[in-house]
Structure 1
Amino acid sequence: MTPQCRSKTATSRQEAAIKARPYRSYVHVLHTIPEEIEPLKARTRAARGGFFRGHNKREAQIELCEQASLVVGIGPRIFAQIPIGQSDASHELIPGLNPELLGLSITRARQASCLLTGRMEDADLKGLRTAARAISNLRTSRSSVMDDSAPSLVVRGLDTIYGEDELREAGLGQQQRGGWLRPRPYSENAADIYGDIQTSTLVLMPSLSEGFGLAGYEAIAAGVPVLMSEDSGLADLMKYAEKNSLIDAGFAEACIVASGGNEQVIQGKWADQIRALHADLDAAFNRAAAVRTRMRSHFTWSNAARELVAKLEILE
């Protein structure tokens, strides 16, 4: 058997070609939840006909799932979205932790610095406003224990030409940002991202919705503290890991933060968590190192591949 793996889009001609070769199995991989994320993107809402873009993508996914011999969902949140009709021919794939990041020595940055990564063309979806205002509140609050040492915010993922417009659209015009905001362009160079992570004291993932949450997952692999949105597949995975004693009790609660609801309330919760973590960075890095050690033996690409192959063999 030679499985034909496909992602979320396909043409009718390609689909017909797959069906014309009965010795091949069509494996459809789901890695997003379009009906969740599309309404949260400003560019989708602004586009003509964009209101139903998420619905239209979902309908296309369902059609492709119905034609597949096996549907693979990346992580628990996306797996739960697989159409009921495909539940008997579905598989949850948990990605392995990044071996390159696992191989790096854990080092603590000298200066407090938070990191937010992702394509900032969807800055609202990625929670840029939440992260920036949380940091700004910490730096201006007289009651904060961090008045003199509040962290900076590194934003990696801005467009090389329209990056300043992306900041402005997120409510971060020149008047609203100071030297604490460090804008960096989008990069496909892994070394850039790894460097950003290693020089951070905290990785932030305040997304309004994340099918999985690679940014937070890579922070775990690097042994760097992370705060993640409760509306993410990674948060679901952390809860599962804690429930099954794969990580220490209490870690999930300490690293998962609300992301939906009243903006000021949510920004305040993120600011509180950032403040609490930086109040004892030694403890935060010790917890991150312990979780990294526990997870590295369970969440590997070898395990992910072995489980997928076992599922594929059933299709023969």
Structure 2
Amino acid sequence: MARIKTQRTRSGKWPMVLLLNDEYGTRKGGISTVNRQIGCFLASKGATVLCTVLNATQQDKHDAAADGIRLVFPTTFERDPRKAELYWLTFDHQTRYPDLPSHVDFIVGHVHITSHAARRIKERFPDAKLVQVTHVMPEDTSQYKGDESVLSIGKESRNILDDLRHTDVMFSVGPLIYDYYRHQTNQLTLQHHELLPKPSDIFIDMKLKPPVDTETKVVLSIGRVKGVEKLKGVDLAANTMGHVIKALPHTKWRLRGIRRDDFQASRSIIEANTGRFQFVPFTPLEYATQEELCEDMEKADVVLMPSRAEPFGLVGLEAIAAGVPVVVSNKSGLAKFLTKQDPEFDRTIVEIDDDDDEAAKTLSKRVIKILTDGPREFRAAQSLKKKLLDSEYWAASHRKFLQTFGLEG
């Protein structure tokens, strides 16, 4: 969208906002998607928005220009063979990003990706307000990432809290993360608000046709496998799909978010977690743009997200906004958010047992029901889409967000 200057700050000038992230595209979802939404939102209300990146595709550059956002690239040196990395933004910003403007009103970091970079770059702009957006809860998510991640939980939590001590305003994405950081920052002096992301317009604008009566069915899962299979519940999904394919042999399982160089490891992880099913076929798909995700959802009969720990789960929210039947675990932040909306959203939530085999059986029963009762489940999904969008649940948190930057909704 083009930037439209509609509001001035209370001081009578347009605020200059510096967003800190490693990318502008939304292929990896989550933090990058929220970062772009924040940038678009502020730019549409008159702010001048800059966003750091390590690199960008031509599509990223086109999207940023259309959004009215200036991308800031790192300086590279001809004889330096090193690839751009986040450390440049954190510890080498003086030399790698020397062309930042002389004055910045707000610096926005994302915990834990660029929160320390934001704190350090603020030293160049002592008068700027530091805003941090929290996306992670190490004590939940790192439990499922292997021994090294578990052993580093304490250090990671301390580092996050140390960065937040220097923060002026913090926004936590969703009710689960907001509740966690209310407790964590109780002794700190900062403003803390909940941020409820609105689904991207590209999903809201989707007009799906009712399912056709075919034996072929499609289950779509979205998310990286290698290193986070326990966290994202990909192992549960593999076991679940064994039950589903046994009952409905023509079902296709499409798994979006597998990089080419991770394919062998990802396939080994899935094959090791199929339970009593010797072979569960799946179609690996690489990281996708939002346009590609829309195409995935157009072909999907259900989106399956059986996470054991998910701070929010934006892609599930966007699937609901698209009007696709969704299955999420009760352990996700998205489930906590949905239970606060309307009892009808309970149909998307499945309570998973700590016993993996029992959890897979429970999930498979729900997936099979959706696949065998397509027209009814489609109508229910369309009803949930309408309820979600009609509620405008995001409005209050977005007004608070604008007020933080001296803008009005």
TM-score range, shorter chain: 0.7 to 0.9
The structure where helix makes up a greater share of residues is: 1
Tell me if structure 2 keeps the 8 A contact 1:97–1:301. no
Alignment partner, residue 218 of structure 1: 318
- Per-residue deviation, residues 25-83 of structure 1 (Å, max 9, x unmatched): 11111011122111202xx42xxx43322222211111111111111100111111112
CA distance in 2, matches of 1:11, 1:198: 36
Alignment partner, residue 283 of structure 1: 376
Per the alignment, do residues 165 and 19 of structure 1 end up closer, same or farther by CA in structure 2, a change over 3 Å counting? closer
- Per-residue deviation, residues 77-121 of structure 1 (Å, max 9, x unmatched): 111111223486101000001211111111245432111011112
- Per-residue deviation, residues 194-236 of structure 1 (Å, max 9, x unmatched): 1111100000110111010022112111100001011111101
Gaps spanning 5+ residues in structure 2: where? Answer: 1-14, 16-104
- Could you say what secondary structure the match of 2:187 adopts? helix
Alignment partner, residue 295 of structure 2: 195
Per the alignment, do residues 255 and 87 of structure 1 end up closer, same or farther by CA in structure 2, a change over 3 Å counting? farther
Per the alignment, do residues 171 and 148 of structure 1 end up closer, same or farther by CA in structure 2, a change over 3 Å counting? closer
Q: Please point out which of 250, 261, 282 is paired with 1:182.
A: 282
Per the alignment, do residues 176 and 107 of structure 1 end up closer, same or farther by CA in structure 2, a change over 3 Å counting? farther
Alignment partner, residue 90 of structure 1: 192
- Could you say what secondary structure the match of 1:134 adopts? helix
Alignment partner, residue 225 of structure 2: 120
Per the alignment, do residues 258 and 278 of structure 1 end up closer, same or farther by CA in structure 2, a change over 3 Å counting? same
Alignment partner, residue 143 of structure 1: none
Higher Cα radius of gyration:
2
Tell me if structure 1 keeps the 8 A contact 2:239–2:273. no
Gaps spanning 5+ residues in structure 1: where? Answer: 141-146, 243-248
Q: Please point out which of 124, 131, 136 is paired with 2:242.
A: 136
Kindly provide the amino acid, as one letter, of the partner of residue 315 in structure 2: A
- Per-residue deviation, residues 3-42 of structure 1 (Å, max 9, x unmatched): 211112458786355256443211111011122111202x
Per the alignment, do residues 229 and 22 of structure 1 end up closer, same or farther by CA in structure 2, a change over 3 Å counting? same
- Per-residue deviation, residues 248-273 of structure 1 (Å, max 9, x unmatched): x3332x21112350111111110111
Tell me if structure 2 keeps the 8 A contact 1:95–1:299. no
- Could you say what secondary structure the match of 2:283 adopts? strand
Shift of 1:276: 2.2
CA distance in 2, matches of 1:77, 1:234: 8
Shift of 1:311: 4.1
TM-score (norm: length of structure 2): 0.66
- Quote the RMSD (CA, aligned, Å): 2.6
User: Number of aligned pairs?
Assistant: 294
Alignment partner, residue 7 of structure 1: 110
CA distance in 2, matches of 1:11, 1:133: 37
Tell me if structure 2 keeps the 8 A contact 1:197–1:224. yes
Alignment partner, residue 271 of structure 2: 171
CA distance in 2, matches of 1:278, 1:87: 51
- Per-residue deviation, residues 157-178 of structure 1 (Å, max 9, x unmatched): 1221231321212334898324
- Per-residue deviation, residues 121-160 of structure 1 (Å, max 9, x unmatched): 22222111211211211333xxxxxx35663211111221
Kindly provide the amino acid, as one letter, of the partner of residue 7 in structure 1: H
Identity of aligned residues (%): 20
Bigger CA drift: 128-137 or 303-312? 303-312
Alignment partner, residue 338 of structure 2: 238
Alignment partner, residue 129 of structure 2: 25
Tell me if structure 1 keeps the 8 A contact 2:131–2:167. yes
Alignment of 1:62-81 (within 5 A): 62-81=161-180
Q: Which protein, 1 or 2, shows the higher relative CO under an 8 Å CA cutoff with sep ≥ 6? A: 1
Runs of 4+ with >6 A deviation: none
